[in-house]
Every structure is written in structure tokens, then in C-alpha cells.
Amino acid sequence: MRSAFSIYGEMAAIVFFWALNWLVMKSGLRYASGLDFVVLRLVGASVVMALISLVLRVPLLPVAGERWPMAWIGLWQVGVMLTPSIIGLQFVGPGRAAVLVYTMQFWALIFGWLVAREKVRSMAAAGSLLGFCGLIIYMNPSLVNWHDRRAVIGNALVLSSGIGWAYGATLYRQRKWQSPVWTQTTWQILASAFVVAIIGAFAGHHRVVWTSGLFLSLAFNWIIATALCYLWWARALNAMPASRAGQIVSLVPVLALLMAAAWNGERLTGAVFVSMAMIGTGIVLTVRGREQPKIKQAVAVPTFS
């Protein structure tokens, strides 16, 4: 029986490494284009996850009947989430990118109501409304140069990744899954790597400069932010409700923003603090207030970004 100290210690490490990874990815983009970086990250992570599956003797493939649905969901939760967010990260700061991606909880509430016909509880509705108000403040002209096409495209791409993640999470919640969490995660990454690699092969305009900086950034993504953190994540889901784990992970954008301010020089103005407080509180209220289905909650695969 694992102690609470061990469980929450691993969750704290997940929050730290996933927050830090936004800065690591931003650094890696100095040596590769956004799409090339996504391809390298997903392909490498797939290999590492598959090797660990063999070592742990965990099935690489989901149970029959879950493979195609899980692959489709993985394209949304991993591929659609990672690709625009990393491409957009070329144009926006890592702290801002993390905050925009984690607005997925607000979009998930909308998709849950529209697609899955989930009941919207008052706490969740209030949290999402508060979060959207914070998002409006976060997008005001004092923080985003609306005359800069690159800034507008970057913010739109990163925000769209949170929407894609939310849609995938909604699809996931609609059925009960039998495959282990680790198998689900590996399979979703594998499916996304295959599709994104094909897109990358035909996209053209490749830019990869093989340096120690790029290799270290990719290795951190493959080994720490993906393999190690998801090993801890799977163990956490076996020890606590997914909703509680989700509340803890909501600290990622807060820490990422503070790290980006300290190390990348992102501005922390009064408007940023107000909007971040509203968005952060909104995320927590939305997660706490969401109707808990009888099936397991969506595995938050893209949170390793």
C-alpha cells in the first residue's frame, strides 16, 4: 500500500515537469519548426512508451473493439492538441500557451452538454463563466497585439488545441474502457504519431538543426514529460479519483506562467494576475462541479505538453 506522501509527491513532480516542459519545448523550437518538433516528439515518445510497455509487460494494444475508437480519440487528445499548440508556441510565450491550452475544461463542459448530453451543474457553469471572463481579459489589447498577425495566429492556434483536447475528452467519457491506462496512453500517442508523421512528410519546408539543445529538449519530452510522468499518472489514477487528480494538474498553467516570467521574461501585469486568478479558479470550479459519470473520467493524455 503506497503512502499518501508518495502519491502526492509524484503528483507534485508531474505538475512541475509538465509546467517546465512548456519552457523546454519553447527552447527546442529554436532548432526545429513547430511541425517537425511535433513529429519528432511523438515518434520518439511512441518508441519509449512501447519499450516500457514491454518491460512492464503491459499490453501494447488495447483490447479488441477499443483500438479504432481509442485511436480516433487519441488523434483529438494528442494529435490535434499538440500540433497547433506547439506550432503556436513559436509565436507566443510558454506561460501564455499553457494557460490557453488548459482552458480545455471550459470547452469540455460545452461539448459535454452538446455532444454527450451531460447535465451542467451550477458550480461548473459558474466556474466556466468565470473562466471565460478571465479569458476575455487575458486576450485584451494590452496583453495581445491584435495588429501583429503572428501573435493573433499563435494565440488562435494554441487556443484551438485546448478545444481539440476538450472534444477528445468528451468522446472518451462516453464509454467504459477495459484497457489499462498505460495501454490507452501509449496507443493514443502511437496513433497520433502515425498520422502527424504522414502530414509532416507531405507538408514540406522542414527545418531541423541537430544540436545538443534539440536533443536534450526531445529527450526531456520522451523520457521525463511523457514516460516517467505518465507512469506516475497511471499510478495516481489507481490511488485517487480522476477528478481529484485533475484538480491537482490544473496547477500546471499557473506554475508554467510563473516559470516563464522568471526565466523567459514574460510580463506579469495586473491584468495577467486578475485573468489568471479567474481562469485558475474557474478551472477548479468546473472540474469540481462536473457531473461525475459512472464510467472512468477521460484520461488527460495531452497534459504532458
Is residue 292 very low, low, confident or very high in pLDDT (cuts 50, 70, 90)? low
- The DSSP symbol for 178 reads -
Query: What confidence tier does 298 reach under pLDDT thresholds 50, 70, 90?
Result: very low
CB contact at 8 A, 169 and 108? yes
Q: What is the pLDDT of residues 247-276, one digit of tens each?
A: 888 899 999 999 999 998 998 999 999 999
The reported pLDDT for the residue numbered 299 is: 45
What's the pLDDT at 159? 96
- Alpha-carbon distance of 153 to 26, in angstroms, equals 16
Secondary structure (H, E, C), 28-77 = HCCCECHHHHHHHHHHHHHHHHHHHHHHHCCCCCCCCCCHHHHHHHHHHH
Residue 65 half-sphere exposure, CB side, CA atoms within 13 Å? 5
DSSP codes of every residue in 5-24: HHHHHHHHHHHHHHHHHHHH
What's the rounded Cα separation, in Å, for the pair 180 and 268? 41
Specify whether the CB–CB gap between 227 and 47 falls below 8 A.
no
For residue 288, give the nearest of 162, 49, 132, 109 by alpha carbon.
109
| Residues 39/161, Cβ–Cβ less than 8 Å | no
- pTM given for the model: 0.91
Amino acid residing at 299: V
Which residue range(s) make up the domain with 133?
A: 4-304
What's the number of domains the chain is made of?
A: 1
Query: What type of residue is 271?
Result: A
**134 and 275 in contact (C-beta within 8 Å)?**
yes
